[in-house]
Amino acid sequence: MLREFTCIMCPQGCDIQAELEGNKVISISGNKCPRGKEYVTQEIKNPMRNIATSVLVDGGELPLASVRLTKPVPKDCIFPVMAEIKKVRLAAPVQEGDVVISHVLGLDSDVIATKTVGVR
């Protein structure tokens, strides 16, 4: 089966054509680098995505600290992961890189702060 992909690994966004047989990539073209093949291989098995959002900070100079995942998670875990992150309330100070939730939902990915928020 021939399938087309837009690679999201980098801003180039290559248009990739891949010949697939079940979960196997038979041939691939259009990708300018090897990450394109990695992307397609992952995409047909189990698409993975990263997300970014914010958590509330009590007593901080800012009301929110932004967070992201250290590794992408399966696409269908995005909303459950969002719900987990929503439950969190941090107390200032927050340091960039602080682990906010380790192994969120038991997945191989941590939620980390991406912004330092000092005490108000």
Partner 1 sequence: MRQTDAVIIGGGPAGLAAAIELRRKGIEDILILEREKKPGGILRQCIHDGFGLTRFGETLSGPEYASRFVRRAQELDIPCMTDTTVLEVTPDRRVYASSSEGLLEIQAKAVILAMGCRERTRGAISIPGTRPAGVYTAGVAQAYINLKNKMVGKRVVILGSGDIGMIMARRMTLEGAKVLGVFEIQPYPSGLPRNVEQCLNDYQIPLYLSHSVTEIRGRDRLESVVVSQVDEHLSPIPGTEKEYACDTLILSVGLIPENELTWMAGAKEDLGTRGPVVDEHYQTTVPGIFAAGNVLHVHDLVDFVSLEAEALADGAARFIQEGALPACPLTVKGDSLVGQLIPGRCSGQEDVTISFRVRRPLKNCSIEVCQGEKVIRRVRKPKALPAEMIQISLKAEELNPNEDLEVKVVC
How many CB atoms neighbour CB 48 within 10 A? 16
- How far apart are the C-alpha atoms of 77 and 91, rounded to whole Å? 27
62 counts as binding partner 1 under rule CB under 8 A: yes
The residue whose two tokens read 């928020």 is 117
List the one residue from 20, 25, 41, 54 that touches partner 1 (CB under 8 A). Answer: 54
7 counts as binding partner 1 under rule CB under 8 A: yes
11 vs 21 by CB, closer to partner 1: 11
Of 38, 41, 33, 42, the residue nearest 14 (C-alpha): 33
Residues that bind partner 1 (CB under 8 A): 6-8, 10-13, 15, 49-54, 56, 62-64, 66-68, 75, 78-79, 82, 96, 114-116
